[in-house]
Amino acid sequence: MRFTSGISGAVNASEAADAVCSQVLEQLGGEPCDLACLFASTIYRASWPSLLARLHERLRPRALIGCSGSGIIGGGQELEWVPAVSLVAASLPGVKLFPFAVTPDELEDSSPGGFWVDKIGASPAAQPVLLLAADPFSCNPVKLVEELNATYRARPIIGGLVSGGNEPGEHLLFAGTTVSHEGAVGVAMAGNIVMDTVISQGCRPIGRPAVVTKADEHGVMELGGKPALAALHHVLSRLPAGDRELAQQGSIFVGLVIDEMRRQAFAPGDFLIRNIVGIDPDLGAIAVADDVRIGQTLQFQLRDPATSRQELRRLLLQRQPSPGLPPAGGLLFTCTGRGRSLYGLAHQDVKTIQTVSGKLPIGGFFCNGEIGPVGETNFVHSYTASLGLFRPHK
């Protein structure tokens, strides 16, 4: 198994595509290109069908998928809101590839099970790992991920929602030599491949966990029998000055415990982080960007650069494989709210990954929402770095 990564910031899209193709072909050293993952800035105005045809002619991949993004990752760099093309090309002996593309109409009528087995072509018994890119304007990503969860139980999915466009039709999705502006694309991989995942949500718990005692869909009315907004104010009032300032800047979230049966005490990795999207002072309620159920445990969370960096490093160290089976390469799907806007500096997540896991070939893009597993269930996240590290079984 060999992964390669190329990136170019050439202003002309054709020149950038040619440059990354030359870079990965040199690194492949004559080995076949089985999988190609292409990520391109939305800034380019180019004829992507002709560029894809040229890339196919040079690379001859068994499968090519990809998309556009507001920021592009590759070659140890994170290039945000500038022209950039990134290409990850991999030689994957003993791996079966099942590329697929889904239209909005198909997604509207889809259901778990047979639909997805027929569409993708991979049996659940093959235990595939999946990559996924979806257009947020034209499909329901939560429905998409939940149906894939139900079809391929406990199998990891990483990917993200395409970013960079302000209107429907401005995003690009690549599948083979076809360019589309809606729906979703992906690839399932089965056989001699392992995808170790790292999902860094970049938050730390504050206050104490509380049980939701009154809720209505997205609205949390009561925590521990008290108005939820009063519970939030109570937590904020006891924070140090620096943390209160972070909360006032919008860096406060809620964490919903994922698996309450396995824990008596909760750590950062036990929570699914969700945005606070509104408050109702009259009702004393908090609106959360997810359905909340009565009896669920909730804890408020703070996000800051140091926590994000430390958590990513800690998770990478926990995921280090046994000697002799290091990762061959990686794909990184990170939130548009990370990068410079979080750290104040460029390339921070990639630098952390390559510091801990070695100078891996890595590519990816900045997302409008990230896809990845917490425990054995895949979710659509926000403000998250979703990383897949690939290695052979043996």
For 20, list phi and psi in degrees, rounded to 5.
Answer: -70, -35
**Residue 153 above 90 pLDDT?**
yes
**Residue 209 above 70 pLDDT?**
yes
How many C-beta atoms lie closer than 10 Å to residue 191's C-beta?
A: 15
SS3 96: strand
The model's pLDDT over 38-62, given as tens digits with 9 standing for 90+, comes to 999 999 988 899 999 999 999 999 9
Mean of per-residue pLDDT scores for the chain: 93
Residue 221 near residue 285 (C-beta atoms within 8 A): yes
Q: Is the pTM of this model over 0.85?
A: yes
**Residue 112 above 90 pLDDT?**
yes
Return the amino acid letter for 388: G
What is the residue-wise DSSP string for 189-224? EEES-EEEEEEE--EEE-S--EEEEEEETTEEEEET
Give the model's pLDDT for residue 327.
93
Query: What span, in angstroms and rounded, lies between the C-alpha atoms of 145 and 332?
Result: 18
What the block records as the tokens of 119 is 């569409």
**Residue 175 above 80 pLDDT?**
yes
**Residue 174 above 80 pLDDT?**
yes
Question: DSSP alpha helices (H): ranges in the chain?
Answer: 13-28, 48-59, 104-109, 114-120, 141-151, 228-237, 241-248, 305-318, 339-343, 348-357
Give the model's pLDDT for residue 264.
63
For tokens 């921070």, the residue is 348
Return the amino acid letter for 242: G
Give the model's pLDDT for residue 261.
66
Measured distance between the N- and C-terminal CA atoms of the chain, rounded to whole angstroms: 10
**Residue 138 above 80 pLDDT?**
yes
Give the model's pLDDT for residue 391.
95
Query: Once rounded to an integer, what is the mean pLDDT over residues 218-239?
Result: 94
Give the model's pLDDT for residue 323.
64
Query: What span, in angstroms and rounded, lies between the C-alpha atoms of 363 and 77?
Result: 9
The model's pLDDT over 14-40, given as tens digits with 9 standing for 90+, comes to 999 999 999 999 999 999 999 999 999
For tokens 């392992």, the residue is 194
Cα separations in angstroms, 59 against 10, 26, 118, 232, 355: 20, 11, 28, 54, 30
Query: Once rounded to an integer, what is the mean pLDDT over residues 382-390?
Result: 94
Query: Once rounded to an integer, what is the mean pLDDT over residues 358-370?
Result: 95
**Residue 322 above 80 pLDDT?**
no
Which of 81-95, 249-263, 274-288 bottoms out in mean pLDDT, i.e. has the lowest? 249-263
Query: Once rounded to an integer, what is the mean pLDDT over residues 229-251?
Result: 91
Give the model's pLDDT for residue 262.
58
Task: Of 101, 92, 99, 151, give the one whose Cα is nearest residue 127.
Answer: 151
Task: Of 78, 71, 193, 49, give the one whose Cα is nearest residue 131.
Answer: 193
Residue 253 near residue 303 (C-beta atoms within 8 A): yes
- When pLDDT is cut at 50, 70 and 90, the band that residue 249 belongs to is confident
**Residue 279 above 90 pLDDT?**
yes
How deeply is 327 buried, as exposed, middle or buried, from its count of CB atoms within 10 A (0-12, 13-18, 19+)?
buried
Domains of the chain by residue range: 2-200+308-391, 204-303
Query: Once rounded to an integer, what is the mean pLDDT over residues 77-86?
Result: 96
